[in-house]
Amino acid sequence: MTGDNQILLDHGSGGRLSRELTVNLFFKHFGNNILSAATDSAVVPTPGEHLAFTTDSFVVDPLFFPGGDIGKLAVCGTVNDLAVSGATPLYLSAGFIIEEGFLLDDLKKIVRSMADTARSCGVKIVTGDTKVVNRGHCDKLFINTSGVGLLKSSHKNIGSGKGIKPGDKIIINGGIASHGMAVMIARNELNVGGNVISDCAPLSGLTGQILKATSGIKFMRDATRGGLATVLSELCENRKFGIEVAEEAIKIDDNVRGICEFFGFDPLYVANEGKVVMVVAPEKAGSVINIMKSHKYGHDVSVIGEVVEKHPGKTILKTKIGGSRMIDMLAGSQLPRIC
């Protein structure tokens, strides 16, 4: 079929096509066990501790949106990938690809934002690179950040969820879909408005506090591109357990819900930038919730479901009226629709 030899936008959407490209091209050729574990941070053995190492590139448009900017996103994204792997983030690199003609004032704002965010979560940006390309050869500004953090042996399975068992609780630190809709409003392409602020935030303080206070954290992942639904369906795919979540327990702000309704978007698949999904041993769930409730990035915590024995490999959402719905990965990004 035409287009099979071409990269589509959907290859970058975080859905099934993205995963296929990652596995069939990058994993295949770079091939090693650490990479193909496919955790948010690569966990590399070092004498004594483990080193968590991750990288991410940021191309968000527009560069500034309610609740953040590309710089804050670049720090939070990489810090969070380390944090949800159970690591303590320590050092970041920052690579900039800048389009000729980009305003220095805007760059200053973004760099200051990165510095503030890094300081707020105790990480240092210790190395970097800058390239400028001809006008038209990149869209204003692209940033890549890589990060390393230290990971205790006892936490090394958190990224892969090896120890998950039926009965474990599934917890998320707040309401979903704000980031994706905040960016949509900021793009102003569809003249949509609303009081939606991105949830972009560094979560290492929250995760660090929880890991210090309690054991029994079996799994963590941040629900970025592809949304909460993608995390849940990836989590149980090809595993011996299933997942059940309750529609009622998943919090969505009214403004966010309104925009999703206008365009026919499912909030479960919309990107977040400050949400961590945790799988927790049931006897520890109470203390996790208490810590979250008293933290600024966790006060809207919700227990959304649990790991179950039935329907292994599938995630089922129970609707308010008792019906059920399977949550699967999307092929690509959601598009505004009339049907």
Partner 1 sequence: MRFIDEYYDTSLIEPLLRSIKKISKKEVRFMEVCGGHTMAIRKFGLPSLLPENIRLLSGPGCPVCVTDRWFIDKAIALARMPGNIITTFGDLVRVPGSSSTLEKEKANGADIRIVYSPLDALALAKEFPEKNIIFLGIGFETTSPAVAVTVANAKKEHLTNFSLLSSHKIMPPAMKAIIHEGIKIDGYICPGHVSTITGPEMYREIVGKYGLGCVISGFEPTDLLQTILMLVDQVESGKPKLEIQYKRAVKPDGNLKAKKIMAEVFETCDDWWRGFGIIPESGLSLNKKYKPFDAGEFFNFNEVPKPEEDKACICGEILKGLKTPAECLLFRIKCNPGNPVGACMVSSEGACHAYYKYQG
Partner 2 sequence: MCLSIPAKIISIEGNKARVSLGGAEINAALHLIDDAQVGDYILLHSGFAIQKIDEKEAMETIRLLKEIGREGQEP
With 0-12 CB in 10 A as exposed, 13-18 as middle and 19+ as buried, what is 219? buried
Cα–Cα distance measured from residue 188 to residue 260, given in angstroms and rounded to the nearest whole number: 15
From 106-114, 233-241, 251-259, 271-279, give the range in contact with partner 1 by CB under 8 A.
251-259
Residues in contact with partner 2, counted by CB under 8 A, come to a total of 20
In angstroms, give the least distance from the CB of 263 to partner 1.
Answer: 7
Q: Does the protein bind partner 1 through residue 220 (CB under 8 A)?
A: no
For 314, list phi and psi in degrees, rounded to 5.
Answer: -120, 145
Task: Quote the CA–CA distance of 132 and 146 in Å, as a whole number.
Answer: 19
Rg for the chain (alpha carbons), in Å?
A: 19
Q: Which tokens in the block code for residue 150? A: 């230290």
Q: Which does 10 bind (CB under 5 to 8 A by kind): partner 2, partner 1, none?
A: partner 1
Per-residue contact flags (x/-) with partner 1 for residues 262 to 291, judged by CB under 8 A: -xx---------------------------
Q: Give CA–CA dist 267/339, Å, rounded.
A: 17
Write the DSSP string, 282-299: GGGHHHHHHHHHTSTTTT
Q: Binding to partner 1 by residue 6, rule CB under 8 A?
A: yes
Q: Which residue has the tokens 């599934």?
A: 170
Query: Do 206 and 279 contact (CB within 8 A), yes or no?
Result: no
The CB density around residue 300, as the number of other CB atoms within 10 Å, is 14
CA dist., res. 312 & res. 197, Å (int): 36
Interface pick for partner 1 out of 7, 115, 133, 213 (rule CB under 8 A): 7
Strand ranges of the sheet holding 324-327, from the earlier edge strand across to the other edge: 217-222, 276-280, 169-172, 302-308, 242-246, 315-318, 324-327
CB of 176 to partner 2, least distance (A): 15
> By rule CB under 8 A, what string of x and - marks binding of each residue 262-291 to partner 2?
x-x---------------------------
Q: Among the candidate windows 71-79, 118-126, 253-261, 271-279, which touches partner 2 by CB under 8 A?
A: 253-261
Q: Is 326 in the site for partner 1 (CB under 8 A)?
A: yes
Question: Binding string, 134-173, against partner 1, x = CB under 8 A?
Answer: ----------------------------------------
Q: Which does 255 bind (CB under 5 to 8 A by kind): partner 2, partner 1, none?
A: partner 2
Among the listed residues 4, 105, 189, 254, the single contact to partner 2 using CB under 8 A: 254
Q: Enumerate binding residues for partner 2 (CB under 8 A).
A: 181, 190-196, 254-259, 261-262, 264, 337-339
Q: Enumerate binding residues for partner 1 (CB under 8 A).
A: 1-3, 6-10, 15-17, 190, 254, 257-258, 261, 263-264, 314, 316-317, 319-326, 328-332, 335-339
